[in-house]
Structure 1
Amino acid sequence: MSSSLKISVIIPVYDEAETIRSCIANVQECCGENSEIIIVDGSADESTLSAVDDDGVMLLASPPGRAVQMNCGAQKAAGDILLFLHADTTLPPAAGSLVRKALSAPCATAGAFKLSFDAPSRTIKVIAFLADLRCRVERVPYGDQAIFISKSKFHELGGFPEIQLMEDVEFFQNIKRRRLEIIILKESISTSARRYLATGPLRCGLRNTFLRLLHLCGVKHATLKNMYRRREKQ
């Protein structure tokens, strides 16, 4: 893909006022001028949008739900490429060039970065290693790996399924069913380990694995979401 292609970075947020400015600065540095930033707030008070003081950033309000928010941002995107970024995830240098190059490969449909966390914990490093191994074998990255795809292909696929949990998993499973190529870059993003540290790294990792197994067994999305919320509060 040509370096002239514009990248739309879509950031779904919910109470991310403390992190959003540093996130915007990181995107601007790593994606360059030929990109746009779209922040989609799912909270009722739109507190994250209020914390943004950059007129060049598109600010949208949406009903809550990560899939709903990302689809909302994609509908407003002017770019040729969509990059979906969590507010607590940091892109690597020259991320824009890396994404364009990845999607220029023959038959490449979508991709993501390698996962890493911002904590020095040995347990968290092991979790990141295992997650990367799973991702490269299964070819199903998670949303915190900065998913990217051409806008035309995204809409052709129907966008993210608007479910309460595992929208990223089902999105890539849809791509795999069509036997389309998924690129996993060797360059890493750095995502916050705050949820792992709050819950306990091992406990959080086992919880995520357990929920994924239940998803594979066909457990309803609403049930999975309720289990996720319940365990987050424990």
Structure 2
Amino acid sequence: MLETCGLFVFKHSSFPKFEHCFEFRISNFEFRMSPPMNSSAPFVSIIIPVLNEAELIEAFLRKLRCLGANLEIIVVDGGSSDGTWSLAEPLADRLIAARRGRASQMNAGAEIARGEVLWFLHADLKAPRNSIAQITAALADANVVGGCFRLRYPRPESIYRVSDTLGNLGVKLFGFALGDHGIFCRRSAFLRAYGYPLVPILEDAELYRRISRFGSMVQVREAIVSDPRTFERCGRYRTTAVYFLILLLYVFGVPITWLNGIYRRFHKSAGPKSIVPENLPSRAAIPEM
């Protein structure tokens, strides 16, 4: 059970050790001191849609806790059946259930967010330690309404450098970002854009383009590291080729419903281990609050 007391976080632990983020353990208690809150910095709400992320969620949320004190962590579960809920509960500031689908889940998280800034993250991303400072610096310009990070995959193979480059060029040349870019925006701009559209894929790209109508968008220098699990599961070269085709057709205005057909056929042909995220409402079981 996690209990907060001022800027300290107490949590039972059985092994004394020292860790990063001003964190240390004495006896059976864990103490974590967050950096002093900067009253001039905007309050950031980190919104994380999850579905069966038990393998990643605990370590992911602990690392987010090291990013600073001027933030809140909101986890939105779309009906996990692997224990994600119980693992996230002691580490999140808010944990809620929503209809399955990233768009629906992120909209639900934004609805209860207290922050002036909304930052949308997937559980398989690794954010840089100075993320909040980067976001704050970007939004110091009143004309900037949002932005994203650069994308990087942690593997050395050249195909991942191709994927990095294509993903980052999409932001610079065509004005859209994907979920792996770690999109952030002012809450006011998110509301003016009416939140995430309930489309089956590319909801992040659509939101990014909508928000850009209300001001400037920036891509900060720091990179978010994305887990290449989809590439490894479905085939590196094949995944890169299909995703590039989908994004290219998207740039040329092909309807998302058509692109979703390509996306689904690809994942279906990749085998039973391939997971197709659903952004449309479903009857998935939702844990009781």
Q: Quote how far apart the aligned CAs of 1:65 are.
A: 1.2
Q: Does 1:7 align with 2:26?
A: no
The whole-number CA distance in structure 1 between the counterparts of 2:165 and 2:41 is 34
1:24 — aligned with what? Answer: 61
1:84 — aligned with what? Answer: 120
Counterpart of 2:151 (choices 111, 115, 132) is: 115
Q: Does 1:62 align with 2:122?
A: no
Q: Quote how far apart the aligned CAs of 1:174 are.
A: 1.9
Which structure has more helix as a fraction of its residues?
1
For structure 2, list consecutive stretches of 5 or more residues without a partner in the other structure: 1-37, 271-289
Higher relative contact order (CA 8 A, sep 6+): 1
Residues 106-145 of structure 1 aligned to structure 2 (within 5 Å)? 106-145=142-181
Residues 16-55 of structure 1 aligned to structure 2 (within 5 Å)? 16-30=53-67, 32-43=68-79, 45=81, 47-54=83-90
- Superposed CA RMSD in Å reads 2.0
Percent sequence identity over aligned pairs:
33
Letter of the structure 2 residue corresponding to residue 197 of structure 1: E
For the 8 Å contact 1:3–1:100, the answer to whether it is kept is no
Matched length = 232
The whole-number CA distance in structure 1 between the counterparts of 2:171 and 2:39 is 27
Q: Quote how far apart the aligned CAs of 1:119 are.
A: 1.7
For the 8 Å contact 1:11–1:86, the answer to whether it is kept is yes
Scaled by the length of structure 1, the TM-score of the pair is 0.91
1:184 — aligned with what? Answer: 219
1:94 — aligned with what? Answer: 130
For structure 1, list consecutive stretches of 5 or more residues without a partner in the other structure: none
Scaled by the length of structure 2, the TM-score of the pair is 0.74
For the 8 Å contact 1:2–1:100, the answer to whether it is kept is no
Larger Rg: 2
Of the structure 1 ranges 9-18 and 221-230, higher mean CA displacement relative to structure 2 is found in 221-230
Q: CA, structure 1 residues 53+67, in 2 after alignment: closer, same or farther (shift >3 Å)?
A: closer
For the 8 Å contact 1:8–1:83, the answer to whether it is kept is yes
The whole-number CA distance in structure 2 between the counterparts of 1:76 and 1:53 is 16
Q: Quote how far apart the aligned CAs of 1:217 are.
A: 5.0
SS in 1 for 2:76: strand
